[in-house]
């Protein structure tokens, strides 16, 4: 298509000789002005670097300064773009291969603070009780405030067997220290078990082995119970990962048709990913568990199965990361790599879930405390809470404070998983619509009533 477009433009130019000179002048003028401004700003950068080198109170490392400047330029675009120095690029490749040293947490940066997206199942961080939404303010007593995510991660990583102390800031609690022992992280991204008559498949992340692990786990439980009556796919607190693995997992349960599409800056630049014939679950009824920690690749799978009417979703609205990052090695990785947001992705029905997330078919809070936090609007951990996140589709906003549809009853055993129980109920009754609803939640919107004004009564304000 681009070749034909260029031929057409060339033909027009040849037939418009009388306009050629004026057109070239106008084009040259329009091009030179922005370039001149760019060159001026690059010269300014050089002047600043030179001044810092000569006048800063201590000697500086030019390489680190320039790398920090590159990272600052990229992170100003959106929270998911950034610069990876050679060491960080190697670490990222180890992580996507599914084996690396560290604590087992997915983190991002928010206003100069390191924020936990999700702890990974079975890792030191998860076992230490670190939660999605926690802020890491110091490592071994040294502040990481204002530090880039890459530098903070370097502080947390080290030799397996060594302990590291993280200072955690969590809502409604005083800052506290957590001691975590580093391990070689080999997270099995997919595990499965039987839950009565139903299969349960847990996918904790999307690395290079996820589809293979998920297929093996599903085959194992189907062999254990060939008469399995349904399947629960648990994507809660799954921070995402590789796009091709999300496509592979969704493909396991879809018999052809679109899974996801991605669109770049040019509206014509659309790439579609389709499922191959064959459903490995052989039409078993499915429920997908999601929450605000379900992000990126996890949302692609959930959105595809929901849009294609293959599964219903139970839990809470997802994180809302609807963008795609491309890792671009520099000099083959010798100079590190750029992690650059290059596209938005869309579910099969054409939804962009950027900032807004995917709304479950049955909203279920995992605890009464979580339900009240949602009603208080204290439960705000999402893409929309990141300061410079890409905008949502025009007119779309994430749902604010509200009373969730369901919460555990007072008599519910807190050691059990209420969201999982409700997913089993949906399978038992055949659909969300047919499942008996729980009593109205006790969670209420927090109200702040203004002082009464003499002679009138001020209205209550929901907040």
User: What is d(CA 205, CA 390) in angstroms, rounded to the nearest whole number?
Assistant: 23
Which of the following is catalytic: 307, 323, 339, 355? 307
Query: DSSP E strands: which ranges in 210-256?
Result: 230-234
Question: How far, CA to CA in Å, does 433 sit from each of 284, 315, 460?
Answer: 18, 15, 34
Annotated catalytic residue within 91, 134, 204, 321: 321
Place of tokens 């555990």: 408
Active site residue 307: yes
Alpha-carbon torsion 236, 237, 241, 243, what sign?
positive
Measured CA distances, 87 to 13, 336, 431 (Å): 50, 7, 49
Count of Cβ atoms closer than 10 Å to residue 434 Cβ: 10
The contacts of residue 129 (CB under 8 Å, 6+ apart) are: 178
The two three-digit tokens of residue 118, written as one number: 């999700």
Gyration radius from the chain CA atoms = 26
Q: In what order do the strands lie in the sheet with 190-195?
A: 190-195, 198-203, 230-234, 286-290, 312-315, 362-363
367-397: b or e for each residue (b if 16 or more CB lie within 10 Å)? ebebbbbbbeeebbbbbbbbeebbebbeeee
- DSSP alpha helix (H) spans, 279-361: 297-307
- Rounded Cα distance between 50 and 280, Å, is 61
Which residues 6+ apart lie within 8 Å of 427 measured at CB?
A: 198, 229, 230, 232, 285, 287
Question: Which residue do the tokens 């705000």 mark?
Answer: 380
Q: Which of 296, 323, 352, 382 is catalytic?
A: 296
Nearest alpha-carbon partner for 358 in 419, 313, 308, 424: 313
Known catalytic residues?
296, 307, 321
């Amino acid at each position: 298509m681009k070749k034909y477009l260029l031929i057409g433009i060339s033909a027009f130019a040849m037939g418009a000789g009388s306009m050629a000179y004026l057109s070239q002048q106008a084009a040259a003028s329009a091009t030179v002005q922005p370039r001149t401004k760019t060159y001026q700003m690059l010269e300014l950068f050089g002047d600043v670097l030179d001044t810092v080198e000569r006048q800063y109170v201590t000697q500086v490392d030019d390489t680190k300064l320039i790398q920090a400047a590159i990272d600052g330029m990229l992170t100003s675009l959106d929270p998911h773009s950034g610069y990876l120095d050679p060491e960080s690029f190697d670490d990222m490749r180890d992580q996507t291969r599914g084996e690396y040293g560290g604590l087992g947490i997915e983190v991002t940066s928010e206003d100069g603070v390191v924020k936990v997206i999700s702890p990974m199942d079975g890792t030191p961080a998860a076992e230490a009780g670190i939660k999605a939404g926690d802020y890491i303010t110091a490592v071994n007593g040294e502040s990481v405030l204002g530090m880039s995510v890459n530098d903070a991660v370097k502080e947390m990583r080290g030799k397996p067997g060594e302990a590291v102390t993280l200072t955690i800031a969590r809502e409604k609690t005083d800052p506290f220290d957590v001691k975590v022992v580093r391990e070689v992280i080999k997270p099995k991204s997919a595990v499965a078990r039987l839950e009565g008559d139903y299969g349960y498949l847990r996918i904790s992340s999307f690395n290079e082995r996820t589809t293979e692990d998920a297929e093996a786990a599903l085959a194992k439980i189907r062999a254990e119970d060939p008469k399995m009556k349904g399947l629960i796919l648990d994507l809660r607190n799954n921070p995402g990962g590789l796009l091709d693995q999300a496509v592979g997992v969704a493909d396991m349960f879809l018999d052809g048709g679109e899974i996801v599409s991605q669109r770049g800056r040019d509206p014509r630049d659309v790439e579609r990913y389709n499922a191959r014939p064959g459903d490995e679950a052989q039409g078993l009824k499915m429920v997908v568990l999601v929450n605000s920690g379900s992000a990126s690749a996890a949302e692609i799978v959930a959105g595809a199965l929901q849009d294609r009417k293959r599964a219903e979703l139970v839990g809470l609205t997802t994180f809302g990361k609807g963008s795609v990052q491309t890792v671009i090695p520099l000099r083959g990785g010798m100079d590190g790599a750029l992690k650059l947001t290059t596209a938005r992705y869309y579910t099969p029905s054409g939804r962009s879930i950027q900032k807004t997330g995917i709304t479950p078919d049955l909203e279920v809070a995992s605890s009464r405390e979580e339900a009240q936090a949602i009603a208080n609007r204290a439960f705000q951990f999402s893409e929309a809470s990141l300061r410079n996140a890409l905008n949502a589709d025009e007119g779309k906003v994430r749902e604010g404070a509200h009373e969730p549809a369901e919460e555990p009853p007072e008599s519910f055993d807190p050691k059990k998983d209420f969201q999982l129980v409700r997913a089993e109920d949906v399978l038992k009754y055949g659909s969300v619509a047919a499942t008996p609803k729980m009593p109205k939640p006790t969670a209420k919107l927090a109200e702040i009533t203004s002082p009464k004004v003499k002679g009138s009564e001020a209205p209550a304000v929901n907040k």
